[in-house]
A and B are shown apart, each in its own frame.
Chain A
Amino acid sequence: MYNVPTVRNTPTIRRLEGEHGSKQNRKHLELRFSRSQTHPPEDSPLTTLAVILPLALALVAAPLTALAGTIRTAWTAPVGVATAALAFAAVLWGWAFAGGGSVDFPWAPTWNLRLAFELDGLAALYAMLATGIGLAVVAYASKYLPLHLEHQNRPDTDIPRFHAFILMFMGSMVGLVMAQDLLLIFIFWDLTAIASYFLIAYDVHEEESRYSALMAMLVTGITAVLLLIGAMMLYVEYGTFLLPDLIETAEPGIYLTAAAAFMAIAGLAKSAQVPFHFWLPRAMAAPTPVSAYLHSAAMVAAGVFLIGRVYPLVQTSQFLLDALLVIGFASMVVGGILALSRDVLKQLLAYSTISQYGYVVFMFGLGGPYGAAAASFYVIAHALAKSALFLTAGAATESSGGETRLSHLGGMLRQQPLLAASSGAAAAGLAALPLTIGFFKDELFFEAALERGMPFPLLALFGAILTLTYMWRFWTGIFLGEERGESRPLPAAMLAPITILGVLTIVGGIFVAPFASLTEAAGMVSFNAETPISPAYHLDLRPVNLLALATFGLGALVIISRPLWAGAAGVFSRIGEVLGPQRWYDFSLTGLNKFSDRIHWLEVDTLRSRIVAILIPLGILVGAGLLVAAPAEAGIYSVGTVESADIPLIVALVLTAVAAVAATVPRNHLTLVLVLSASGFSLTAVYAFFGGPDVALVAVLVETILTILLLAVLALMPSAVLKRSETHGSTPGTKRRAYIVGGASAVVAFLGVWGALSRPTPEESVAAQHIELAPDAHANDIVTVILADFRGLDTLGEITVVGIALLGIAALLSRGRLW
């Protein structure tokens, strides 16, 4: 049976202030991991509220905004911004002041399902990103969206849909990151996919949007099933969906590796890692704020979040870690090179995202405390920088009057100095220049690689150079060079989020402590042990600094030597278009569609094919069941005993069966009906010899009416019509086919029926009770009392069927008019 744990040890992160904090960094508060049996988690109202409040606020944001939007379109943006801000504030409060917490309610106790949420380090990190960047994006969209709709001549009433879905995205992200029950995780996981589907397809009139949305939905939705499979595998083995319990009880082995691998694949597909990366650049069909959100804090981040969440299970297998290394590095390189060859701004950023999450997966693959913690730090740094860059891309396009290509933009530095400065900070952050939070992300990245040893630092160096190069291309392409046309001024609500994100990138490069402490807390959850990291500037020639210097030097070289490799990058991207996984996706999609059409036509083409479509699967299923059960039940088939008293019964049976078979022979309809009633009346005799006078009487009645009915219908139809029907289409071929199908059905039916009838008689039966109770119901006929009393509801159902059949017949005979 299932090993259902009785004691739940929730891992809690508690804040210890004062004397404990004095040893280490006193600037940021120390976080501790407590998992001891003697100290159960504290369920004070405060810690409960710390979880419930952010979750509830994030989840109600979407419905509230949709409601406000339906009442008055103009209310959408303010309500959306306000609810997102409240959710962000609640998460911030819940983590920084209330110190996190957990709630755990029974959900479906018989399946050991629990509504378990916890605001732990990992959840806090991603929830802050989801709500914080969500807030920035919603604020930006309040100005961007009206412009976007104006370009497309769409009404303002389309606005609430956008805000509602983006906030639904936010809510499901917050739910996802807090959920501790794998089934809950799966539900929120799919909710994010649904939200992303509607957001990517927001410009519904464009085929490209619909195609891309479907692609994102299919790629992430089909792989989401793997998450469910992994969860079910663990549940079957350990009897619980709760991650903390699973982490404690699951034992390393092939089974756990397989389950963790399924969940990791779901995460990799959502994070657009090779070979699932093709959906992400396509998803750029969405409006810019959606892309910004999708890439930095929602959809794609959810993938690496999941890996971080189940990392304690993943890291039990060195094979999985190595696989993550390979996939991460492949994504890093493929995404980086393709980013170098793209001309459309958002495409460049999309490939950069693939590459950047490749870093994160690579770090998870490197393993060790540095790998786990650095991965989380990387997500923060990337989210801040990438969302700012996407919003910049949208702003540049808006300002230039709709230009999306890098080769047609340039020289905006003078016209948009603030935009240039903020996005410069963000680009520097992504390129890991000093004095930005990005510098530390690469410092930790190199540290993790060095911890693992050669050749990983060289691979890391390669990835970092690629990043530096394409970021340089992006920023200089927009802001430097000659001016192209006039640049329109941008509204403050669009510039403000970019500026704030840019400033945060710089602030993180100077005051890294709060980010580092959040990362340590998150890393602790992933690594299931403490992960001390100490990002700082060191003015010496330690290996990490050497690698950083090498990045800058070699990056500059690559930038200068652009003409030498630009062609090669283009060729690489062409090869990808011809041989890449997107072709396989299209191929399998059209193939499946055709297959489904084929099956559909096979099934519903004619009545005959429909009957065959029922009979054949039935035969296969029964046959398969028999095959499976055959070894165990070989002895069960019994011939039964025949007594002399049974002879009349046997005679009637033989008559019934022979007459039935004979009914397949005659051409003439009249003969057919007479043979049928011969079989039917013999059957009534069988019922009589079976000791069932009630059944026999009713059967005689029914057979009589049926015979009359059949004869009457035949009499109503002209003989010419019947003649045609008798002769048409009865070739030897069709006859043979009919007998083959009939014979095969008979064999399968025989095996099934014989097996069922051979089962031994149980000791007790309901019938015995019925017989005993019949006198109490004031009846002598037990069958009658069963029909009218004990199983009266069956009879009611039967009468209903007769009534419906009657209505149908009446409607058919009166051409659909009943009165």
Chain B
Amino acid sequence: MTLLLSLAIAMLFGAGATLLMKSDLIRIVVGMVLISNAANLFIMASGLSRGFAPLYPLPEGALVSDPLVQAMTLTAIVIGFSITALLLAIAYRAYLDLDSVELDELEEAEEREESEQEKEWRPF
């Protein structure tokens, strides 16, 4: 099970890293989602025990899943989600201002803008 979990986490992370290398902002956001999913699963998998849900009344003599990592995973999921939302908002803002969500195009647009500002700039 340890090996399988590690493999799954590594695949999630690798897929996320691959998407990060793309030049499409949406894909980069998706890559970040996959990486945070990998992190969440890693936290969940690092629990010390696995068994029944940690709810009272507890079953007699049986293993109960580690509640601490679950609490941490919950926190991580929520934080990951807010970051994703923020990233999407940035992508949307980029589209609104520069009419593109493609990195190279964005960079060109940025340089254009900078050189225009430079042109307007006068020392005194």
Cα separation A747 to B5 with both chains bound (whole Å): 14
Check B51 for interface membership: any CB of A closer than 8 A: yes
Residues of B close to A656: CB separation below 8 A: 8, 12, 37, 41
Residue of A nearest to B69 (CB): A767
Cα separation A691 to B56 with both chains bound (whole Å): 13
Whether A713 pairs with B88 at a CB distance below 8 angstroms is yes
Binds B, one of A342-350, A533-541, A755-763: A755-763
Check A750 for interface membership: any CB of B closer than 8 A: yes
Residues of B close to A742: CB separation below 8 A: 14-19, 21
Residue of B nearest to A784 (CB): B71
Cα separation A802 to B74 with both chains bound (whole Å): 13
Residue of A nearest to B26 (CB): A669
Asked if A721 meets B95 with Cβ closer than 8 Å, knowing A771-B58, A787-B75, A805-B86, the reply is yes
Whether B99 pairs with A706 at a CB distance below 8 angstroms is no
Residues of A close to B10: CB separation below 8 A: 746-747, 749-750, 753
Cα separation A680 to B34 with both chains bound (whole Å): 8
Asked if A660 meets B86 with Cβ closer than 8 Å, knowing A611-B20, A653-B4, A713-B91, the reply is no
Check A602 for interface membership: any CB of B closer than 8 A: no
Cα separation A806 to B83 with both chains bound (whole Å): 9
Of B16, B20, B48, B79, most A-chain CB atoms within 10 Å: B20
Residue of B nearest to A680 (CB): B37
Residues of A close to B75: CB separation below 8 A: 787, 794-795, 797-798
Check A801 for interface membership: any CB of B closer than 8 A: yes
Whether A657 pairs with B93 at a CB distance below 8 angstroms is no
Whether A653 pairs with B34 at a CB distance below 8 angstroms is no
Of A606, A683, A771, which contacts B103 at CB under 8 A?
A: A606
Check A661 for interface membership: any CB of B closer than 8 A: yes
Cα separation A766 to B67 with both chains bound (whole Å): 10
Of B7, B18, B41, B55, most A-chain CB atoms within 10 Å: B18
- Shortest C-beta distance, A6 to chain B (Å), equals 43
Q: From residue 699 to 738 of chain A, which have CB atoms closer than 8 A to chain B? A: 699, 702, 705-706, 709-710, 713-714, 716-717, 721-722, 724-726, 728-730, 734, 737-738
Check B109 for interface membership: any CB of A closer than 8 A: no
- Shortest C-beta distance, A730 to chain B (Å), equals 8
Of A640, A730, A770, which contacts B1 at CB under 8 A?
A: A640
Residues of B close to A786: CB separation below 8 A: 67-68, 71
Check B115 for interface membership: any CB of A closer than 8 A: no
Check A791 for interface membership: any CB of B closer than 8 A: yes
Q: From residue 1 to 56 of chain B, which have CB atoms closer than 8 A to chain A? A: 1-30, 33-34, 37-38, 40-42, 44-56
Of A680, A729, A779, A791, which contacts B23 at CB under 8 A?
A: A729
Whether A650 pairs with B93 at a CB distance below 8 angstroms is no
Query: How many CB-defined contacts (below 8 Å) exist between A and B?
Result: 296
Whether A702 pairs with B17 at a CB distance below 8 angstroms is no
Of A608, A653, A664, which contacts B5 at CB under 8 A?
A: A653
Of B2, B27, B48, B95, which contacts A672 at CB under 8 A?
A: B27
Q: From residue 756 to 798 of chain A, which have CB atoms closer than 8 A to chain B? A: 756-758, 761-762, 765-767, 770-771, 774-775, 779-783, 786-787, 791, 794-795, 797-798
Of A606, A672, A745, which contacts B14 at CB under 8 A?
A: A745
Whether B54 pairs with A737 at a CB distance below 8 angstroms is no
In terms of DSSP, what is the predominant structure of the interface of chain B? helix
Cα separation A813 to B64 with both chains bound (whole Å): 45
Residues of B close to A716: CB separation below 8 A: 92, 95
Residues of B close to A612: CB separation below 8 A: 21
- Shortest C-beta distance, B52 to chain A (Å), equals 6
Whether B30 pairs with A683 at a CB distance below 8 angstroms is no
Whether B51 pairs with A714 at a CB distance below 8 angstroms is no
Whether B22 pairs with A738 at a CB distance below 8 angstroms is yes
Check A694 for interface membership: any CB of B closer than 8 A: yes
Whether B89 pairs with A782 at a CB distance below 8 angstroms is no
Asked if A693 meets B88 with Cβ closer than 8 Å, knowing A653-B8, A660-B12, the reply is no
Whether A757 pairs with B5 at a CB distance below 8 angstroms is yes
- Shortest C-beta distance, B74 to chain A (Å), equals 6
Whether B15 pairs with A687 at a CB distance below 8 angstroms is no
Check A809 for interface membership: any CB of B closer than 8 A: yes
Whether B4 pairs with A757 at a CB distance below 8 angstroms is no
Whether B21 pairs with A791 at a CB distance below 8 angstroms is no
Whether A725 pairs with B18 at a CB distance below 8 angstroms is no
Residue of B nearest to A805 (CB): B82
Residue of A nearest to B95 (CB): A717
Residues of B close to A709: CB separation below 8 A: 84-85, 88
Whether A725 pairs with B26 at a CB distance below 8 angstroms is yes
Residues of B close to A661: CB separation below 8 A: 11, 14-15
Type the 1/0 row for A548-578, where 1 means its CB is closer than 8 Å to any CB of B.
Answer: 0000000000000000000000000000000
Residues of B close to A734: CB separation below 8 A: 21-23
Whether B21 pairs with A691 at a CB distance below 8 angstroms is no
Whether B68 pairs with A766 at a CB distance below 8 angstroms is yes
Cα separation A741 to B31 with both chains bound (whole Å): 13
- Shortest C-beta distance, B65 to chain A (Å), equals 3
- Shortest C-beta distance, A653 to chain B (Å), equals 5
Asked if A783 meets B18 with Cβ closer than 8 Å, knowing A713-B92, A721-B99, A813-B92, the reply is no
Of B46, B71, B95, most A-chain CB atoms within 10 Å: B71
Check A413 for interface membership: any CB of B closer than 8 A: no
Residues of B close to A797: CB separation below 8 A: 75
- Shortest C-beta distance, A779 to chain B (Å), equals 8
Residue of B nearest to A797 (CB): B75
Type the 1/0 row for B92-107, where 1 means its CB is closer than 8 Å to any CB of A.
Answer: 1101000111111101
Residues of A close to B15: CB separation below 8 A: 660-661, 663-664, 742, 746
Whether A749 pairs with B102 at a CB distance below 8 angstroms is no
Asked if A641 meets B17 with Cβ closer than 8 Å, knowing A680-B33, A683-B41, A798-B78, the reply is no
- Shortest C-beta distance, A813 to chain B (Å), equals 6
Whether A765 pairs with B1 at a CB distance below 8 angstroms is no
Asked if A812 meets B8 with Cβ closer than 8 Å, knowing A741-B17, A749-B13, A801-B79, the reply is no
- Shortest C-beta distance, A408 to chain B (Å), equals 41
Asked if A706 meets B18 with Cβ closer than 8 Å, knowing A721-B101, A753-B6, A813-B92, the reply is no
Interface contacts beyond A660-B15, A779-B56: sample of 11 additional A-B pairs, CB < 8 Å, sorted by A: A608-B21, A615-B20, A663-B19, A676-B33, A702-B77, A753-B5, A753-B9, A757-B5, A757-B6, A770-B67, A782-B56
A-B contact pairs, 21 of them (CB 8 A): A615-B17, A639-B3, A653-B5, A660-B16, A672-B30, A694-B70, A694-B74, A698-B78, A721-B100, A721-B101, A725-B23, A738-B18, A738-B21, A742-B14, A767-B67, A771-B54, A780-B56, A795-B75, A801-B83, A802-B78, A812-B86
Task: Enumerate the 4 nearest inter-chain pairs by beta-carbon distance, A residue then B residue, closest first.
Answer: A746-B14, A742-B18, A691-B65, A640-B2
B interface residues (Cβ-Cβ under 8 A, vs A): 1-30, 33-34, 37-38, 40-42, 44-58, 64-75, 77-79, 81-86, 88-93, 95, 99-105, 107
